[in-house]
Structure 1
Amino acid sequence: MMKKSWKRLNLIATACSILVMSAGQAQAMGLLQAYEAALVNDPTYRAAVSENVAGKEYRNIGRAGLLPTIQYSYGTSKNKAEITSPSTNFLGQPTGGFTESNYDYTSITNSVSLRQVLFSLDATARYKQGIAQTNYSDAIFSARSKDLIIRLTTAYADVKFAEDQQDLFRAQRDAYAEQKRINERMFEKGEGTKTDMLETQAKLDVAEAQVIEAQDNLLNAKNAFSAIVGSEVNQLDGLRPEFTVMPVTLSSFEEWMTIATESNPEIAAAKYSVEAAELEISKAKAGHTPRLELNAGYNRGLSDSITTRTQDQTIKSVGVQLVIPIYSGGYVTAISNQAIANRDKAKADLDSTKNRISIELRKQFNAVQTSLTKISALQKSVNSATLLVEATKQSVKGGVRINLDVLGSEQQLVAAKRDLAQAKYNYLISFLRLRVTAGNISVDDVQTVAAYFIPN
């Protein structure tokens, strides 16, 4: 089902990319549209596609050693010969002289040969190794296909978070600017202080710098995102106001780890690497085993030598050839020992991959599990900070608080909103990372996350 979903999305990705490129200018885009464009335009993914196409040929390369090889050759040459021989009489007795003969003739040769392996442990091991290498290539491509989802979603969230920061810092700057105008009016009426004015100006200057920095961060985030989707984007869909955490279908980490062990493409690739290394040992040791081949040939020669210059010969042959290796200078032993060491390394790499996947899976599992509490707490923090700003402004009017308290409460609100937005983006990324690490992600999961965003 998952493969069908990927194929379906790949088919519509090309059409969507054409629409994207035909626009010829920056445009609005949602997460699902971005993913469809990335499938066609992302250089890293396109490189993975080409690498996978090349990797699939390992199977055919290995199989070629078990199939017959047929060769045809044709040759022609112009020959001139001078032969000096002792002269003889009519009785065939030497006369003591010499006779010189000149020949001028054309030679033509045609031959077809066939070779078929009947028994070869080396060729068998190469075929099986080719299958393992093709499977390894497919697993690596699957991993990189899933990695595209994470890279794209992370880049998308980086753009949206940079936009959030810019908007919040602009709002903060505008608030400080308004507060500065109020301070100036109050000072002119003799109700304010010079200290309040200077304090607000200092905060305003910092806010201006933060706005400029946020603009640079947003530009950099957009450039990174555009490099993945292949076009400039002037607007991305934003988060929905209502945000609910998705239920986790599997409640325990052990269940997720079981799925990852069976489905994670990186673990699968490491297993195929071990299999290929095992077969490399078999291939190396096959250098000490006999090889049996069937050979067949068809040869036709016209004047192919001086003795047959007037003859047209046709020779057909069928036979078997047995090759028994005896000694190769220690080559077979050396490459066998090398292959064993590489096999042991592949097994260690497999264990390392399993450990890394386990750590990452637990990290994302915990992140998803705690997201509901974290987002809920940060939402309450935003609500409280909003109320605090209003209450502090009222207290200033009543003479209970001072201008510094207002600036502090507004800064607290900015930080709370930023942290809430970041927590939501982190949750969505962790949701996808959990499934990517487990190896059971599908296009439906991308669509699920895309539904959290709506056009602004």
Structure 2
Amino acid sequence: MPAAWLTPSARSPGLRGWPCWTVLGLAAWLAGLPAWGLDLQQAYEAAREHDATARAAYAAAEAARERLPQARAQLLPNIAFSAGRNRNDLSREQSGLPLAEAPYYSFNQTLQLRQPIYRRPLLLALEQASHLVADAEATLEQERQNLGVRVAGAYLEALLAQDQLELVLRQHAFTLAYLDAARKALVAGSGTRTDIDEAQARLDLNLAQQLEARQQVDYTRRQLESMTGQPVGELAPVDPQRLALAAPQPAALEDWLALAESVSPELLALKSRLEAARLEIGKAQGAHHPTLDAVLQVTRSASENVTTPESSYLNRMVGLQLNLPLYAGGYASSVVRQAVAESKRAEETLEAARRDLGLRLQREFRGVTEGVLKVRALEQAVRSAEQLVKSSRRSFEAGSRNMLDVLNAEQQQQTALRDLAQARYLYLLSRVRLQALAGTDPSAAISQVNGWLAPR
């Protein structure tokens, strides 16, 4: 039986060499998608402006920056003005006899300036505010790192879903052609009913796989759209010829750990929180300290003396005000113990994060180093599968193989192509994650991966 129905093999997950009906079917499905093209760099830039999580992080940083001027304001002069006007009904007696008095009005106006001279909690609060602002800035940088990882993950996941759909459609074409050939062989008397049933069973399973693959494509595109705020059409795929399979630089895991220890925004944020918690202990202990303020006050009043209601006063006062706490029922001591416990919690949280970061760095470091070996091994597996397809076709034409053997060889090739695509995307994502964990510029990592995509 001629083998003209067999589809030429492919060297990479693409549409070249597909049956014309498969290409037309996929083209018709893609025609319903928006025509706006997108690469990884554009997706990242759009997500920085649109992603709700990123915008929330920016707003949180803006709010935290106000802690510094608020703490500084507590050490600056405080000026207040108060005024009051009252109606007074005064009753008086003299020698046991009531005296008639008419109601009268009184008023007072006070302008006061208070300048803190010594308030230990306020001094520590200013230093604490600087650490809290540093925490917010590091947290914002960490969110920028996370945004790059999330966008890269969503983009590569969308590419993988698209590749899987292409492979499923290609497998559908192989199976459909095999079913047609099996039916013709049965009519000609050289085939069996088992061949037809085998092909039909695979075709039915493939239809379910198509549905799942289309749903995954739709989901991953919508996920990317929710981050970028723009419709997603054609995605720039990974170009195997451009893709650089190289070990991470620096090449030693210890160097990455040292880099993360010094510049990782996650650790920097936790270090700032620890310093703020330690200063909170000093603030709590400052409740036992005296406070000293300079006070300047001018008071103007009239009819506020019940003895001489018609009198008026202008009082100018300059002085120092000392406040010495003596006993508060144990409240201050309790606050100190609470602050010590919070400081211990912040210290242990930092240590736990440092250990967890080391484990994650090791995982992503191995994901890059071993990903290079895995991609190269799967590239060889694809070449071997391609050779198996060619050999199976020749054996089929010679009569030593049946059509099921050829179909199994084709399916093995598609599985190898799928695994190769997954390995490439995981390698790229591991590179982005590794650089994000180490605290390097996320834009540089995104730009590097974007340079490995095919030009649109």
- Superposition TM-score, scaled by structure 1 size: 0.89
Q: How do residues 329-408 of structure 1 correspond to structure 2 at under 5 angstroms?
A: 329-408=329-408
The 3-state SS of whatever aligns with 1:72 is: strand
SS in 1 for 2:408: helix
Q: Which residue of 1 aligns with 2:77?
A: 68
SS of 1:236's equivalent in the other structure is coil
Contact 1:236 1:455 in 2 (8 A): no
Q: Is the 8 A contact 2:247 2:369 kept in 1?
A: no
**C-alpha distance in structure 2 between counterparts of 1:455 and 1:165, whole Å:** 21
* Aligned counterparts of 1:111 and 1:99: Cα–Cα separation in 2: 34
Q: Which residue identity is paired with 1:66?
A: L
- Per-residue Cα deviation, 1:373-410 (whole angstroms, up to 9, x for no partner): 21111111112112211221221121111122112111
Higher relative strand content:
1
1:282-310 deviation per Cα after TM superposition (whole angstroms, max 9, x unaligned): 01111111111111111111323434533
CA contact (8 A) 2:144 2:442 kept: no
Question: Does residue 140 of structure 2 align to residue 141 of structure 1?
Answer: yes
Does residue 53 of structure 2 align to residue 44 of structure 1? yes
Q: What is the distance in 1 between the residues matched to 2:171 and 2:105?
A: 97
Between the aligned partners of 2:366 and 2:116, the Cα distance in structure 1 is 56
CA contact (8 A) 1:303 1:312 kept: yes
5+ long unaligned stretches in structure 1: 1-24, 87-96
Contact 1:69/1:115 (<8 A) preserved = yes
Aligned partner of 1:33 in structure 2 is 42
Structure 1 residue 83 displacement after superposition: 3.1
CA distance in 2, matches of 1:79, 1:174: 100
Residue of structure 1 equivalent to 2:66: 57
Alignment length, in residue pairs?
422
Distance change >3 Å, CA 149–CA 442, structure 1 → 2: closer
Secondary structure in structure 1 of the residue aligned to 2:102: strand
Q: Distance in 2 between matches of 1:34 and 1:306?
A: 78
Match of 1:263 in 2: 263
1:432 deviates by 1.0
For 1:359 and 1:241, the matched residues in 2 are separated by 30
C-alpha displacement of 1:76: 1.8
Q: Which amino acid aligns with 1:75?
A: G
Measure the CA separation in 1 of the matches of 2:347 and 2:408.
Answer: 57
Task: Identify the residue that residue 316 of structure 2 maps to in structure 1.
Answer: 316
The 5 Å alignment of 1:96-245 reads: 98=97, 100-242=99-241, 243-245=243-245
Gaps of at least 5 residues in structure 2 are 1-33
Q: How does 1:81-96 map to 2 (within 5 A)?
A: 81-86=90-95
Rounded Cα–Cα distance in structure 1 between residues aligned with 2:246 and 2:304: 83
2:251 is aligned to 251
Question: How far is 1:246 from its partner?
Answer: 4.6
**What is the alpha-carbon distance in structure 1 between the residues aligned to residue 358 and residue 318 of structure 2?**
59
Compute the displacement of 1:237 (Å): 1.3
The CA deviation string for residues 34-91 of structure 1, in whole angstroms up to 9 with x for no partner, is 11111111111111111111111222232232222111112222334343434xxxxx
Distance 1:117 1:26, change over 3 A: farther
Partner Cα distance (1:119, 1:273) in 2: 26
Question: Counterparts of 2:264 and 2:175 in 1: how far apart (Å)?
Answer: 51
Task: Work out whether residues 82 and 103 of structure 1, in 8 Å CA contact, stay in contact via their aligned partners in 2.
Answer: no
Match of 1:5 in 2: none
Q: Give the percent of matched residue pairs that are identical in Structure 1 and Structure 2.
A: 32
CA distance in 2, matches of 1:200, 1:431: 42
Quote the offset at 1:26 in angstroms. Answer: 6.5
- Alpha-carbon distance in structure 1 between the residues aligned to 2:313 and 2:422: 86
Give the conservation status (yes or no) of the 8 Å contact 1:107–1:305: no
Bigger mean CA deviation after superposition, 348-357 or 223-232: 223-232
| Corresponding residue for residue 27 of structure 2 | none
Amino acid at match of 1:324: L
Q: Which moved more, 1:241-250 or 1:418-427?
A: 241-250
Distance in 1 between the 2:305 and 2:446 partners?
75
Shifted more, 34-43 versus 164-173: the winner is 34-43
The DSSP-based 3-state class of the residue aligned with 1:318 is: strand
The superposition leaves residues 256-293 of structure 1 with CA deviations (integer Å, 9 ceiling, x where unpaired) of: 11110000011111111111111111011111111111
Distance 1:403 1:304 in 2: 112
Structure 2 vs 1, CA of residues 82 and 181 (structure 1 numbering), >3 Å: closer, same or farther?
A: same
Runs of 4+ in 1 over 6 A off after TM superposition: none
CA separation in 2, counterparts of 1:441 and 1:379? Answer: 31
- Residue 239 of structure 1: SS of its match in structure 2? coil
Amino acid at match of 1:78: R
Give the whole-Å Cα distance in 2 for the aligned partners of 1:32 and 1:102: 86
Deviations 1:209-266 (A, max 9, x none): 1111111111222222222112331221111141222563312111111110000011
Assess, with a 3 A threshold, how the Cα gap between structure 1 residues 26 and 84 changes in structure 2: closer, same or farther.
farther
Q: What letter is aligned with 1:376?
A: R
TM-score using structure 2 length: 0.89
2:87 alignment partner AA: K
Aligned counterpart, 2:28: none
Query: What is the distance in 2 between the residues matched to 1:392 and 1:352?
Result: 56
CA distance in 2, matches of 1:245, 1:307: 97
Q: Which moved more, 1:42-51 or 1:154-163?
A: 42-51
CA contact (8 A) 1:26 1:231 kept: no
User: Where does residue 300 of structure 2 map in the other structure?
Assistant: 300
Letter in 2 for 1:312: S
Q: 1:349 to 1:99 in 2, by over 3 A?
A: closer
- Structure with larger RCO (C-alpha < 8 A, sep 6+): 2
Measure how far apart 1:442 and its partner are.
3.7
* Cα separation, 2, equivalents of 1:52 and 1:246: 37
Residues 216/291 of structure 1: CA separation in 2 closer, same or farther (3 Å cut)? same
Secondary structure, in 3 states, of the residue corresponding to 2:233? Answer: strand
- Give 1:162 deviation, angstroms: 0.5
